[in-house]
Amino acid sequence: MKVDFSRNFIGGQWLDPVEGATMPVYEPATGKAFGEIADSSQADVDLAVGAARRAFDDGAWGRTTATERGRMLTRLGDLILSNAPELSAIEARDTGKPKSVADADIVALARYFEFYGGAADKLHGEVIPYLGGYHVGVLNEPHGVTGHILPWNYPAQMFGRTLAPALAVGNATVLKPAEDACATSLRLVELAAEAGFPEGAINIVTGKGHVAGAALAAHHGVDFMSFTGSPEVGQIIQKLCADHYITCTLELGGKSPHVVFADADLEAAIPVIVKAIVQNSGQTCSAGSRVLVERAIYDTFAALLADAFSKVRVGAPEMDLDCGPIITAKQQGRVQGFIDRARADGIEVIAQGQIADGVASDGYFVRPTVFGHVPRDNAIAYEEVFGPVLTVLPFEDEADAVRLANSTEYGLVAAVWTRDGARQMRLVKKIRSGQVFVNCYGAGAGIELPFGGAGKSGHGREKGFAALHDFSKTKTMVINHG
């Protein structure tokens, strides 16, 4: 597969970057460059925002009805499914994911377009009883031009998660995917054109975050920003948005806990807990990266977890094992650094997965690792690693479990494992988190389920009907009819 995705898609056309610069993209499983993307500048972002603005204000896109937009979204979902093998191959090569994980990501991507295709004409306004002689209606309107900045961990799914609801409501969009993995997005805009999206509805500009990404968030022609990525860059985006008085959705990181009580069904819990951290090599904002275990069963739990975790195998995408490589050499170094520091601090390694024979020696692989009896004040207990590293900490009682679950700055997802129904309800209420699962876990699962964080995990909601509200604004209409 030869990737030549070195142009931006703006106003329905493939355009060379204005300043002509390109940058290489690397294959995580081999460390080799396999294509070039446009290294866009402010001038490219100006063109993309201009194209989106014309599409929204005067173009065919701005005149579409909700039903027409729903049909386009549904058609795109169908095209994604009929091109799934090609899209999955691009995604696996660009990110290093195991083949079956990339396959599942493409199905999830299609689901976003199916779900929001069906939802597009179901976002209704309201009528409010008011003074005699008045009619008051509340309309839902698109923001106008929305900017979307994506991370590299689930590039295909993120394309659907952020664009499908924004388009369903009628916004014209400008996307800046992550420079480390954007090939699938570039193929998807071709499919979107085939699905009938008119020029300017979806524009894509690739390049570096601090150049193209910052130019987009700072652009006065952008009316709303959706950002998924690190907390540090999220803060930059929010400040850039504040400079021109717009709001943003921030989907940032996590240090999501599994809280395991002594009465939990461990046979059911352990495989779910292992998958929730090794999925996508732990590069999942909602990865379950902490296990908090009631002290009474700590030793039993740790032995069962070690047995399951030591069977985890890491390899190249085509080997289709549990984990692939880490996305870049830089991230590999960061993840390995967390493991090395925890070991140097004397923290016990409960288990490690295995890297399969035959992987390329220059690939960005790390051994999945579980640390036990992790001190609460060690960085690995509260900082996001964004790799296949699990920490296990004992707790004393229910109050201690809640304190520990809420002891990081993050609040994205949590799981509670107990058979006690009243305790389940108390924990759901007390844990500070955008989602709480009981006796199950879904890292990134469920297009239908509103998703988003508290604190350093961000704000705003994506997925479900909640995303339609975030990608629109209300207008209150007051008519004096006497």
Q: Would you name the residues annotated as active-site residues?
A: 251, 285
Q: What is the number of other CB atoms lying within 10 angstroms of the CB of residue 247?
A: 15
Q: By C-alpha distance, which of 460, 395, 458, 450 is closest to 233?
A: 458
Using CB under 6 A, which of the segments 50-58, 101-109, 145-153, 471-479 binds ligand NAD? 145-153
Choose which of 51, 149, 350, 393 interacts with ligand NAD (CB under 6 A).
149
Using CB under 6 A, which of the segments 120-128, 209-217, 256-264, 352-360 binds ligand NAD? 209-217
* 3-class SS string, 105-169: HHHHHHHHHHHHHHHHHHCCCEEECCCCCEEEEEEEEECCEEEEECCCCCHHHHHHHHHHHHHHH
Tokens encoding 182 = 């954007």
- Residue number with CB closer to ligand NAD (285 or 401): 285
**H or E segment to which residue 251 belongs:** strand 248-251
CB of 171 to ligand NAD, least distance (A): 19
CB of 284 to ligand NAD, least distance (A): 7
Using CB under 6 A, which of the segments 9-17, 93-101, 208-216, 299-307 binds ligand NAD? 208-216
3-state secondary structure of 277: helix
Residue 410 Cα distances to 289, 406, 432, angstroms: 12, 8, 9
- Residue number with CB closer to ligand NAD (83 or 226): 226
Dist. CA 161–CA 374, nearest whole Å: 35
- Residue number with CB closer to ligand NAD (199 or 251): 251
State the residue for tokens 């493991």.
339
- Residue number with CB closer to ligand NAD (223 or 251): 251
Q: Which residue is nearest to ligand NAD (CB)?
A: 209
CB of 434 to ligand NAD, least distance (A): 9
Number of residues engaging ligand NAD in binding (CB under 6 A): 25
CB of 276 to ligand NAD, least distance (A): 14
Dist. CA 431–CA 415, nearest whole Å: 10
Using CB under 6 A, which of the segments 125-133, 195-203, 247-255, 315-323 binds ligand NAD? 247-255
Residues 274-293 that bind ligand NAD (CB under 6 A): 285
Q: By C-alpha distance, which of 317, 363, 326 is closest to 89?
A: 317
Using CB under 6 A, which of the segments 26-34, 76-84, 140-148, 245-253 binds ligand NAD? 245-253
Amino acid at 58: D
**Alpha-helix runs per DSSP H in 178-297:** 183-194, 214-218, 231-243, 266-278
How many Å separate Cα 476 from the centre of its chain? 33
Choose which of 17, 59, 96, 209 interacts with ligand NAD (CB under 6 A).
209
- Residue number with CB closer to ligand NAD (106 or 269): 106
CB of 125 to ligand NAD, least distance (A): 29
132: left (phi over 0), alpha (psi -120 to 50) or beta: beta
Radius of gyration of the chain (CA): 23
Amino acid at 32: K
Question: Which residues pair with residue 175 across a beta bridge?
Answer: 148, 204
Q: What is the number of other CB atoms lying within 10 angstroms of the CB of residue 442?
A: 16
* Site pattern 222..241 for ligand NAD (x: CB under 6 A): ------xxx--x--xx----
Dist. CA 80–CA 379, nearest whole Å: 41
Instruction: Please tell me what DSSP assigns to residue 226.
Output: E
CB of 12 to ligand NAD, least distance (A): 23
- Residue number with CB closer to ligand NAD (233 or 402): 233
Q: How many Cα neighbours within 13 Å face the side chain of 12?
A: 14
CB of 208 to ligand NAD, least distance (A): 6
150 part of the interface to ligand NAD, by CB under 6 A: yes
Amino acid at 454: A
* Site pattern 19..38 for ligand NAD (x: CB under 6 A): --------------------
Residues 156-185 that bind ligand NAD (CB under 6 A): 176, 178-179
CB of 427 to ligand NAD, least distance (A): 22
Residues 360-389 that bind ligand NAD (CB under 6 A): 384, 386
User: By the criterion CB under 6 A, which residues form the site for ligand NAD?
Assistant: 149-153, 176, 178-179, 209-210, 213-214, 217, 228-230, 233, 236-237, 251-253, 285, 384, 386
